[in-house]
Amino acid sequence: MQTNVETITIKRMDKSDLNGVIAIEESAYGSHHWSKESFYNELNNELAYYYSLFASNGVLVGYAGTWHILEEAHITNIAVKEEYRRKKYGEALLKRIIDDCYLEKIKYITLEVRVSNNPAINLYTKYGFSSFGVRKKYYQDNNEDALIMWTKNIFYEEFKDNYEKVVSELGSKILIK
């Protein structure tokens, strides 16, 4: 293992994480953010899978959520503290979501992303998502459009081959516990 590889921890989110999650949520989304009650409800939603990411120093620095409905997963959110961005943490959270989809036999993954969020769009594209339309004025805080993105069937060789390649690159930078 290389010495410059950082070890992070991703675990299922629990109630003890919610204060830290809300602080990240408020910073990432401003006045238009989910409430603590919304996250609490998600933790009790049997279709929801939420994760907390801890940096090597033990600080909660990111979270992600998804719903599993039949053969589809819908990513509800991925957010990382601003000072911890560009360290591959969002990518690690996306990997966790995709890995769980493989375990749960979920075939397709979808999400909406702001049309102006180029770093996120580039990440999703790197992981095999494609744009399949736009939701006009989707975001209530500024009426920004949302790009609708989907994967092909994640069990198809084309997706799996790309996934293995990008995960290998990620693994050279981050060790996920």
Q: Is 167 exposed, middle or buried (0-12, 13-18, 19+ CB in 10 A)?
A: middle
Helix (H, G, I), strand (E, B) or coil at 6: strand
Torsion of CA 110, 92, 9, 55, to 10 degrees: -120
E-strand stretches of 123-173: 129-135, 146-151
Number of Cβ within 10 Å of residue 156's Cβ equals 13
Residue with tokens 């959520």: 65
Any catalytic annotation for residue 51? no
Q: How far is CA 35 from CA 13, 18, 74, 143, in A?
A: 15, 10, 19, 20
From 42, 112, 127, 163, active-site residue: 112
Q: What is the DSSP string of 86-113?
A: TSSHHHHHHHHHHHHHHHTT--EEEEEE
Any catalytic annotation for residue 72? no
From 124, 139, 144, 164, active-site residue: 124
Catalytic (active-site) positions: 112, 124
